[in-house]
């Protein structure tokens, strides 16, 4: 009996679509939309809300939300703006829905990056690309491509704190890691064929000529979105798991950039990697994000340290606030303006230039801005 009614229902839908093609197309579109939404983990109520958002943004084909980061970004902005204006942002169901939207946005980005064609050899690397040089016994050092000729690559002479005194680079085998903008992370092996020492008058800090490599590995695709900023934050070192933040001395720092996975912070003095910290920043509200200092760039002349922090897994409500800030929907509240909702969505999303450790043996995670 159940099979009979089900067959009758399907037949009725087919007849309806044939008799009323325009309405039938709309019905078919909704069925496909809800089916895809359910496959991606959205509830029926969330699918209805997402369909309504698609109509508000006047998307010709609502299903584009499941594969277009530009269209989905526009819907997120409208939904977040409505929540902020109606004071419903903190409601649990809205937080859960927003969290799912951000996860879908990252998934779409990752899938698109995986389909892109990358570069095949070092002759295709752009000048001014930031790189990290790794040499056993010499640690890791930051550098930059300053010339890419047919014969060799010329990079800035690394000056990492881990370098032994009077270290000589010539004839050394090195590993080079870098991120290509809007693409992925790469690494290759090379050899230093010439070292040019810094000039006496300080006009040149020196350089290295390294061999080209015809085999270059494309490792991790970048999937974190980043916002460049210059606001003040507080950094709390965690002395123990039970220590309260209010009793631990804190440091006022400059937040240079932030993503959903980490941040770059400029601090006075010198510190070391590996420390557990809490980053406190004022956005819609004061949020505390725990993490670990993964690497440090110390500037001896200025006595400052750039700390590259990798965040622990954030709670959905904190994650959502960070992502709204990254997308430019809100800004930090230090100037009294807690909310900023642009009238039009951006056409592209800035991707982070952080370095995620690849599957092969590699140094710890680095993050930097191009």
Do 55 and 159 lie in a common domain?
A: no
- Domain closes at, from 115, 142, 172: 115
Answer yes or no: do 101 and 195 share one domain. Answer: no
Average pLDDT, whole number, for the chain?
77
Does 6 fall in a domain? no
CATH number of the domain encompassing residue 156: 2.30.110.10
DSSP symbol at 87: T
- The residue that leads in pLDDT, 81 or 3, is 81
Boundary (domain end) residue, out of 215, 249, 283: 215
Q: What is the pLDDT of residue 25?
A: 54
Q: Is residue 157 part of a domain?
A: yes
In terms of Cβ atoms closer than 10 Å to its own Cβ (0-12, 13-18, 19+), residue 4 is exposed
Q: Are residues 34 and 134 in the same domain?
A: no
Q: What is the structure's pLDDT at 162?
A: 59
Considering the domain architecture, whether residues 246 and 281 belong to the same structural domain is answered as: yes
Confidence at 283, pLDDT banded by 50, 70, 90 = confident
Gyration radius of the chain over CA positions: 25
Q: Is 181 part of a structural domain of the chain?
A: yes
Q: The CATH number of the domain where 267 resides is what?
A: 2.40.10.220
1 burial via Cβ count (<10 Å: 0-12, 13-18, 19+): exposed
The whole-angstrom separation of Cα 105 and Cα 83 is: 19
Q: Are residues 109 and 126 in the same domain?
A: no
pLDDT tens digits, 338-368:
344 333 333 233 333 343 333 343 433 334 3
Answer yes or no: do 290 and 351 share one domain.
Answer: yes
Per the structure, the complete domain to which residue 189 belongs is given by 122-215
What's the DSSP call for residue 195? E
For residues 286-299, average pLDDT: 88
Number of domains in the chain: 3
DSSP letters spanning 133-184: EEETTTEEEEEEEEEE-SS-EEEEPP--TTSPTT---TT-EEEEEEE-TTSE
Each residue's pLDDT tens digit, 15-64: 555 554 545 455 667 788 888 888 888 998 998 998 888 888 888 788 88
In a domain, 363, yes or no: no
Instruction: Give buried/exposed letters for 144-170 (b at 16+ CB in 10 A, else e).
Output: ebeebeeebbbbbbbebeeeeeeeebe
Domain boundary pick from 115, 134, 169: 115
Is 239 a residue whose pLDDT tops 70?
no
Beta-sheet pairing, 286-299 with 130-135: unpaired
CA–CA separation, 163 vs 157, rounded Å? 12
Is the residue at 11 inside a domain?
Answer: no
pLDDT tens sequence across 120-147: 889 999 998 989 888 876 667 888 999 9
Q: Is residue 364 part of a domain?
A: no
Band (95; pLDDT cuts 50, 70, 90) = very high
pTM of the model as a whole = 0.66
Q: What is the pLDDT of residues 195-237, one digit of tens each?
A: 988 777 766 778 999 999 988 887 765 556 778 888 889 998 8
Residue 236 and residue 194 share a domain: no
Say yes or no: 231 and 273 in one domain: yes
Distances from the Cα of 200 to the Cα of 204, 207, 321, angstroms: 8, 14, 50
Q: Are residues 104 and 137 in the same domain?
A: no
pLDDT score, position 313? 92
What's the average model confidence in pLDDT over 77-87?
Answer: 90
Is residue 253 domain-shared with residue 337, that is, in the same domain?
yes
Residues 245 and 301 in one domain: yes
Sign of CA dihedral 71, 74, 76, 78: negative
Q: Is residue 310 part of a domain?
A: yes
Considering the domain architecture, whether residues 23 and 61 belong to the same structural domain is answered as yes
Q: 3-class SS at 211?
A: coil
Q: Looking at residues 76-98, what average pLDDT do you find?
A: 91
Does any domain span residue 171? yes
């Amino acid at each position: 009996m159940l099979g009979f009614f089900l067959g009758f229902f399907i037949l009725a839908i087919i007849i309806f679509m044939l008799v009323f093609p325009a309405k039938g197309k709309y019905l078919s579109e909704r069925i496909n939309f809800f089916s895809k939404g359910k496959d991606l983990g959205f509830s029926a109520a969330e699918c209805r809300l997402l369909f309504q958002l698609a109509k508000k943004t006047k998307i010709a084909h609502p299903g584009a939300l499941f594969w277009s980061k530009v269209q989905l970004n526009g819907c997120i902005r409208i939904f977040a703006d409505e929540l902020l204006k109606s004071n419903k942002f903190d409601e649990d169901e809205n937080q859960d829905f927003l969290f799912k939207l951000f996860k879908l946005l990252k998934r779409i980005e990752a899938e698109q990056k995986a389909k892109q064609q990358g570069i095949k050899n070092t002759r295709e690397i752009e000048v001014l690309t930031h790189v990290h040089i790794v040499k056993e016994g010499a640690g890791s050092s930051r550098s930059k491509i300053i010339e890419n000729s047919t014969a060799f690559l010329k990079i800035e002479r690394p000056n990492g704190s881990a370098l032994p005194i009077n270290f000589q680079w010539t004839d050394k085998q090195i590993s080079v890691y870098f991120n290509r903008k809007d693409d992925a992370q790469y690494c290759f092996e090379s050899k230093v064929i010439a070292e040019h020492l810094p000039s006496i008058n300080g006009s040149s800090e020196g350089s290295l000529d390294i061999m080209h490599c015809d085999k270059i590995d494309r490792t991790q695709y970048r999937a974190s979105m980043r916002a460049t900023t210059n606001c003040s934050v507080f950094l709390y070192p965690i002395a123990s798991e039970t220590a309260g933040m209010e009793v631990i001395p804190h440091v006022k720092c400059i937040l240079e950039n932030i993503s959903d996975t980490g941040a770059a912070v400029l601090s006075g003095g010198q510190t070391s990697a590996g420390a557990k910290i809490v980053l406190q920043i004022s956005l819609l509200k004061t949020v505390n994000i725990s993490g670990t200092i993964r690497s440090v760039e110390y500037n001896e002349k200025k006595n400052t340290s750039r700390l590259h922090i990798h965040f622990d897994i954030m709670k959905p409500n904190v994650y959502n606030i960070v992502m709204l800030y990254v997308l430019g929907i809100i800004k930090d509240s230090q100037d009294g303006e807690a909310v900023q909702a642009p009238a039009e969505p951006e056409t592209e999303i800035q991707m982070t230039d952080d370095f995620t450790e690849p599957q092969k043996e590699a140094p710890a995670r680095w993050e930097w801005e191009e």
